[in-house]
């Protein structure tokens, strides 16, 4: 059975801290790993990682994929209160193009 597991499930930090969110996966016919941010309603796309070891960056956010260890991390540096959200990772199944989601990490940034 395809499975994606995120940790921690919940994280509370102070503004300015750096956080690392974890995502491990067991997905047959794995194609890519996707990260989404969900603030209130619709998840918004952050990154798609297909190749191992290549870091993707967008401002204070960065992510990397390890296809040998079946693992991805999402880093957020100098956190701001606007980073408070649920962060979802998902494995994309090649061919069917189905996404298998993890449970999400609820990140709270306190001022």
Partner 1 sequence: DGGITQSPKYLFRKEGQNVTLSCEQNLNHDAMYWYRQDPGQGLRLIYYSQIVNDFQKGDIAEGYSVSREKKESFPLTVTSAQKNPTAFYLCASSQWGNENEQFFGPGTRLTVL
Stretch (H or E) spanning 3: strand 3-7
How many Å apart are CA 39 and CA 8, to the nearest integer?
A: 17
For partner 1, which is the closer residue by CB, 24 or 104?
A: 104
Binding of partner 1 by 102 (CB under 8 A): yes
Contacts of 68 (CB under 8 A, 6+ apart): 52
Of 81, 94, 108, 110, the residue at the interface with partner 1 (CB under 8 A) is 94
Binding residues for partner 1 (CB under 8 A): 4, 6, 9, 31-32, 34, 36, 41-45, 48, 50, 88, 90, 92, 94, 96-104
């Amino acid at each position: 059975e395809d499975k994606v597991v995120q940790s921690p499930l919940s994280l509370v930090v102070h503004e300015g801290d750096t956080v690392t969110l974890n995502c491990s996966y067991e997905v047959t016919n794995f194609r890519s790993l996707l990260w989404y941010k969900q603030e209130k309603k619709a998840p918004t796309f952050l990154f798609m990682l297909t190749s191992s070891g290549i870091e993707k960056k967008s401002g204070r956010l960065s992510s990397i994929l390890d296809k040998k260890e079946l693992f991805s991390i999402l880093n957020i540096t100098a956190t701001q209160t606007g980073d408070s959200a649920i962060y979802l990772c998902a494995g994309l199944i090649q061919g069917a193009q189905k996404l298998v989601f993890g449970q999400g990490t609820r990140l709270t940034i306190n001022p």
